[in-house]
Every structure is written in C-alpha cells, then in structure tokens.
C-alpha cells in the first residue's frame, strides 16, 4: 500500500490486489484505518459490479422508483439531476469522494438558495446511498435562514372569507381553512360529497413534464380521509353543483387579490391550512384529532411546519384570557 501527494494537494493511496490496482483519493492526509476502509469499499464495489457514471446511476435510481413515487417526486428528481454540472454527472460512481460532493455543493450554492442547495444534496446523497452504501459523506451545507412569514389572525381569515363570499373562491377558501391542501381541493368533485362528509382521496399534482394531472391517490396514506363539513358549507356545495373548477395557481392569485383589497399582509393559500392547525390547537382539540382531520403523518411533521403558527395562536389565546381575567 502506497500513499502519494498529488499536484492538486490531494492524497492518493494505491494497492495491488490479485493483479488489479485499486486507487482511492483523499482531500486530507488519511490514517491507515481510513485508507484500508476506502480500499475495502473500492474492492467491494468492484465485486458487486456497480459501474457507470453518477448520471447513469441517478437515472436508474429515478427509473426504479417511477412506479412507486408520485409524478411530482419524479419531476423533482429529474430537475435535480439536470441542475448538476456535467463534470459531476460524468464522474464514475465508484470514484466519487466526499470532496467531489462538497465541491459540487459549493458551486451550486453560489447561485442558489440554501434550501434549494439542501434539496440537491438530498438527491445526491440518496443516489450515493443506493450505489455507494459504504461512502460516508461529511458535507457542509449553507445555513438556511428561515423567512419571517406572516401568520394570519382569526380576524384576517374571517375578513377574507367574507370578501370572497358568493364567488367561485368561497368554497375552496373555506375548505382550505378546514385543512384541505390546494391539490386536494382541485381534485375533488361533487361525487366526493356524501351527506355532510367530504371524501378526500385524490390530489392534483405536476407530472414529470410539468403538466397538472389528477393523481388517484393523495399525498400520503394519512391524507386519505373523510372530512366532516358544516351543514351550511355542504349545502353551498350542493347548490353550486361542483367544488372548484379553476386552475390551482388561481387560488394563490385570488387570495393575494383579497389581501390587497383588505390591506392584509400577504400570505399564500397554504397558510389557511396552517391556520387550521394553530386554531384547532388553541381551542384544545386533541393532537390525534388534528392529525386525522388534516391528514398529517406524524405530530413532528405537523409541528415542524406549523410551530410558529401554533405558538402565535397560543400567545393570542393567553392574551385574551389575561385581558378577560385581569382586564
């Protein structure tokens, strides 16, 4: 086993085994244990027959999941693959090092947001986990700075619902406040309403070609649910004869127009779902019921996304109690 320093400043270890030469490269001076582990991994991959470039393996990775993941996920995978540099995509999968991945991430992060960079790294690491299971990545990612997005108050919500009353957006806005996702609302039809219960079991999503399609399954298994509606809303749907027949993007545009008319800070349609979680929590609805109504998989997912809204609603509730009791 021989270790040599390369002109680039990297270090390469070389070992001949059964007449074949194996080489591994490091971005630092490795100790004997690191060299042995890297060489062992190299020989193991040679024996398992994992060959080809990162691009080839990534395409295989996507293809192998195309029938078990949503079209939107496949589209995201393809987008991430296209965002990689040609140099990285052409690297042999069995030769990729932590330094190669770090360099690619550094280059990408120069022109993209930290969150987008993290998503790209997630794709790279998933492909490598499939074809290089013994490669332990230690990549430093740019820090994500969370945006201070506006969380609507109960007064904001009521004003917006009153503003769109009688329009084509009245029903979808009310469903949003009752926890429905935009894609779920756009996939609903009148046959999904049984009495005062709404059966949510489909979703409208982008396919791999960026076209909107109806996916016959919801976002997650937990999203497949029966949503009890207020009788007034159920009757409004029956009288109208349909739920919503517009484009998904039109919902965000419509809520922004309402906010502008009313002088309310801008927030996206999805914040109606956030409001549902925070309001339900503030009035003491059990966590298990909130999860079931909203179709969340786990409490951690719900709370990680809506923590700020949950805390805001609690602060508002405490203030109302304090004002009432201590005046």
| Poorest-pLDDT segment among 4-13, 137-146, 261-270 | 4-13
Provide the pLDDT for residue 123.
96
Question: Where residue 327 falls among pLDDT bands split at 50, 70, 90?
Answer: very low
Domain boundary among 145, 176, 207: 145
Q: Answer yes or no: do 185 and 313 share one domain.
A: yes
Q: What is the pLDDT of residues 76-96, one digit of tens each?
A: 899 999 999 999 999 999 889
Q: What is the pLDDT of residues 106-133, one digit of tens each?
A: 999 999 999 999 999 999 999 999 988 8
244: phi > 0 → left, psi -120 to 50 → alpha, else beta; which? beta
Q: Answer yes or no: do 137 and 205 share one domain.
A: no
Cβ neighbours, 10 Å, residue 162: 11
Question: Where residue 220 falls among pLDDT bands split at 50, 70, 90?
Answer: low
Is the model's pLDDT at 326 over the cut of 80? no
Domain boundary among 145, 176, 206: 145
Q: Answer yes or no: do 96 and 133 share one domain.
A: yes
Q: Look up the CATH number of the domain holding residue 168.
A: 1.10.443.10
Q: Answer yes or no: do 201 and 232 share one domain.
A: yes
Question: Where residue 9 falls among pLDDT bands split at 50, 70, 90?
Answer: confident
Provide the pLDDT for residue 14.
82
Q: Answer yes or no: do 123 and 185 share one domain.
A: no
Task: Give me the domain span that covers residue 35.
Answer: 1-49
Provide the pLDDT for residue 87.
95
Q: What is the pLDDT of residues 182-210, one digit of tens each?
A: 999 999 999 999 999 999 988 887 776 77
Cβ neighbours, 10 Å, residue 265: 10
Q: Rounded to two decimals, what is the model's pTM?
A: 0.61
- Averaged pLDDT, 63-85: 87
User: In the chain, how many domains are there?
Assistant: 3
Q: Answer yes or no: do 14 and 98 share one domain.
A: no
Is the model's pLDDT at 19 over the cut of 80? no
Q: Answer yes or no: do 194 and 71 share one domain.
A: no
- DSSP-assigned beta bridge partners for residue 194: 197
Domain boundary among 128, 145, 162: 145
Q: Answer yes or no: do 268 and 192 share one domain.
A: yes
Buried b (16+ CB within 10 A) or exposed e, 45-78: beeeebeebbbebbbebbeeeeeeebbbebbbbb
Q: Tell me what the pLDDT averaged over the chain comes to.
A: 84
Q: Answer yes or no: do 35 and 65 share one domain.
A: no
> How many Å separate Cα 20 from the centre of its chain?
44
Q: Answer yes or no: do 310 and 164 share one domain.
A: yes
Q: What is the pLDDT of residues 303-321, one digit of tens each?
A: 555 555 555 555 555 455 4
Q: Answer yes or no: do 39 and 168 share one domain.
A: no
Q: Answer yes or no: do 33 and 64 share one domain.
A: no
């Amino acid at each position: 086993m021989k270790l040599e320093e390369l002109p680039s400043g990297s270090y390469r270890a070389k070992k001949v085994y059964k007449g074949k030469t194996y080489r591994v490269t490091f971005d630092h001076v490795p100790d004997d244990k690191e060299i042995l582990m890297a060489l062992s991994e190299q020989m193991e991959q040679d024996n398992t027959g994992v060959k080809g470039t990162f691009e080839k393996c990534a395409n295989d990775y996507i293809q192998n999941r195309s029938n078990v993941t949503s079209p939107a996920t496949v589209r995201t995978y393809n987008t991430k693959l296209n965002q990689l540099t040609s140099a990285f995509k052409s690297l042999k999968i069995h030769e990729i090092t932590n330094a190669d991945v770090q360099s690619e991430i550094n280059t990408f992060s120069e022109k993209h947001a930290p969150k987008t960079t993290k998503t790209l790294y997630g794709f790279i690491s998933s492909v490598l986990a499939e074809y290089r299971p013994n490669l332990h990545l230690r990549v430093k990612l740019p820090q994500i700075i969370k945006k201070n997005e506006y969380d609507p108050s109960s007064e904001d919500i009521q004003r917006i619902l009153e503003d769109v009353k009688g329009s084509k957006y009245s029903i979808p806005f009310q469903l949003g406040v009752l926890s429905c996702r935009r894609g779920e609302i756009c996939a609903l039809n009148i046959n999904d309403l049984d009495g005062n219960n709404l059966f949510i079991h489909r979703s409208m999503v982008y396919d791999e070609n960026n076209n909107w399609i109806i996916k016959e399954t919801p976002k997650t298994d937990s999203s497949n649910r029966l949503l009890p509606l207020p009788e007034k809303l159920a009757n409004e749907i029956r009288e109208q004869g349909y739920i919503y027949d517009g484009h998904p993007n039109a919902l965000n545009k419509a809520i922004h127009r309402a906010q502008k008319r009313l002088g309310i800070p801008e927030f996206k349609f999805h914040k109606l779902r956030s409001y549902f979680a925070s309001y339900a929590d503030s009035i003491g609805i059990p966590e298990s019921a909130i999860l079931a109504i909203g179709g969340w998989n786990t409490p951690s997912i719900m709370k990680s996304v809506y923590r700020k809204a949950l805390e805001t609603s609690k602060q508002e509730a405490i203030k109302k109690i304090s004002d009432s009791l201590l005046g």
